[in-house]
Amino acid sequence: MIALIDYGAGNLTSVKKALHALGAEFTVPASPDACADAAGLIVPGVGHFSATTALGQPWRDAISRAVDAGTPLLGICVGMQWLYEGSEEAPDVRGLGVLEGECRLLRGDAEQRLKVPHVGWNALDVSGPCRLLAGVPGGSYVYFTHSFAAPVTDACVASTTHGEPFAAAVERENVFGVQFHPEKSSDAGLRILRNFLELC
Amino acid sequence: MLTKRIIACMDVRDGQVVKGVQFQDLRHAGDPAELARRYNVEGIDEIVVLDVTATLETRRALRHTISAVAKEIFLPLTVGGGIRAEDDAAAAVDAGADKVSLNTAALNNPGLITTLASRYGSQAVIVAIDAKRRGVSGIVSESGFGVFVRSGTADAARDAVEWAREAESRGAGEILLTSMDRDGTRAGFDCELTAAVSDAVNIPVIASGGAGGLEHFADVFTRGHADAALAASIFHYADTSVADLKRYLRAQGIPVRI
């Protein structure tokens, strides 16, 4: 059973729909205790980094314990950003801190007409073999909608460039994250979600 | 590189796709879920469902249509038409919409943009602007393009560029800009209008109204500075397949997802 973590920001409908289509069994737990029994955890995300404050200490502890016990964790969009130490978007809000670094505002490029927010389909520059992106060739397009992004570090398995490169997908042991929306990225996105579910 | 998006719009009435010329004379064009499936196979980047009669007939967005489309298509889905209050937006989102498009309601109550952006994030809020070139007797406006409402039947007495800027500052994540002069004519997008708005805001601008041939899309991405282009009838009647359009654009050096 996958635990889909709802922290009240935006809507989970499209992630639920994709999990249904992939035949995954999932629940949206009301209490952090459920994390201990979950086969995998998904932290979705839309909206502002500060919304993650709804995941108070009991949730942080439960998610950290599950990750330490080896449970696969996937963060999507703001859910991925939350895996880092923090974000420029809400400097007073701490991230979970399982990955090093801070998320920063993309700068765009006025001369090249690269706007921020970065909205639309952009290509994955896959850096090497990894489990999350198995069967997803480099150059595949996925759907992004965000203004802040994580830096390219050694946890990064695919980067994307919008004026500057940023972390599009990360993978370290049982911790995974995607800045894009796999649930909105057609076949490539569904493949990535299925890869994660197969690890759970 | 961020690609230019091709968006298929389905104007829906009574659960069926219709498309009129300049918002009149609605013709039957098919089942929404069936069309959405075809577009997905052809490589469409995004789908917009507009309840075209909602504003005039005070009906809510077609929940059933949204669910039917959202159930099997894993692409961004926008719903517009009849989103007048927070509850209407919530109903659309619950049915499977990723974004809602506000038009008349945003002009009447600009605070609704901010309310929805706070609740769902700016990425979920599109402000749709129906714009028309001002005649000599029109209200003086900075850009020469005015805003129209109630499916294009009433003058909102606003400047299109100024309203787009305000919508952005209030939390809109994208602007869906329709040229009322070109809508349904297949004479090409209004590139001047599109560039005027796109250059004035930092959020993406979706150009709409007038798509008739492949070259019109190339024009609106180059001369019109559009981030995305939306069309309806050109795709519905299979005059032009999305796949052919994207191959053409790529050959013109315009980045697209293939």
pLDDT tens figures, A68-118: 999 999 999 999 999 999 999 999 999 999 999 999 999 988 888 899 999
> How many angstroms separate the CA of residue B227 from the nearest CA in chain A?
9
Does the pLDDT value for residue A55 go beyond 50? yes
Give Cβ neighbours of residue A97 (< 8 Å, ≥ 6 apart). Answer: A83, A84, A85
Three-class secondary structure of residue B111 per DSSP:
helix
Q: How confident is the model at residue B140 (pLDDT cuts 50, 70, 90)?
A: low
Question: What distances in angstroms separate CA B73 from CA A169, B18, B52, B133, B178, one per listed residue?
Answer: 23, 20, 22, 36, 25
How close is the nearest chain A Cα to the Cα of B119, in Å?
A: 6
DSSP B139: P
* B130 included as an active-site residue: yes
Average pLDDT, chain A: 94
| Cβ pair A125, A159 in contact under 8 A | yes
Q: How confident is the model at residue B13 (pLDDT cuts 50, 70, 90)?
A: confident
Give residue-wise pLDDT tens across range B32-44. 888 898 889 999 9
What span, in angstroms and rounded, lies between the C-alpha atoms of B207 and B179?
A: 8
Instruction: Report which residue type is found at A120.
Output: G
Q: Who has greater pLDDT, B183 or B224?
A: B224
List the catalytic residue out of A35, A77, A103, A156: A77
Instruction: Please list the residues that pair with B229 across neighbouring strands.
Output: B6, B207
Closest of A53, A46, A48 to residue A10, by C-alpha: A46
What's residue B136's pLDDT? Answer: 44
- Give pTM, 2 decimals: 0.93
Q: Which of A114, A119, A166 to mutate to test the interface with B (most CBs of B within 10 A)?
A: A119
Marked catalytic residue, from A118, A146, A162, A181: A181
Contacts of A189 in chain B (CB under 8 A): 74
Taking CA atoms, A176 is separated from A1, A35, A136, in Å, by 18, 16, 15
Confidence of residue B235 (pLDDT cuts 50, 70, 90): confident
Smallest CA–CA separation between B55 and chain A, in Å?
25
B168 to chain A, any CB pair closer than 8 A? The answer is no
Q: Measured between alpha carbons, how far is B254 from A142 in angstroms, rounded to an integer? A: 18
> For B3, which DSSP code?
P
**What span, in angstroms and rounded, lies between the C-alpha atoms of A108 and A145?**
13
Bridge pairing between strands B24-30 and B174-179: unpaired
Mean pLDDT for B180-204 is 95
Q: Which helix (H) or strand (E) holds A175?
A: strand A175-178
Closest by Cα among A14, A18, A19, A17 to A3: A19
Kindly provide the ipTM of the predicted complex, given to two decimals.
0.92
- Write the pLDDT tens digit of every residue in B66-98: 988 998 889 999 999 888 899 889 888 888 899
Task: Say if the Cβ atoms of A120 and B45 lie within 8 Å.
Answer: yes
For residue B176, the cross-strand partners are B128, B206
Pick the residue of B98, B227, B256 with the most A CBs within 10 A to test the interface with A by mutation: B98
Active site residue A102: no
Which residues from B are below 8 Å from A18, CB to CB? 74
Contact A184 B203 (CB under 8 A): no
Using a CB-CB distance cutoff of 8 angstroms, which residues of chain B are in contact with residue A185?
Answer: 74
3-class DSSP assignment, residue B183: coil
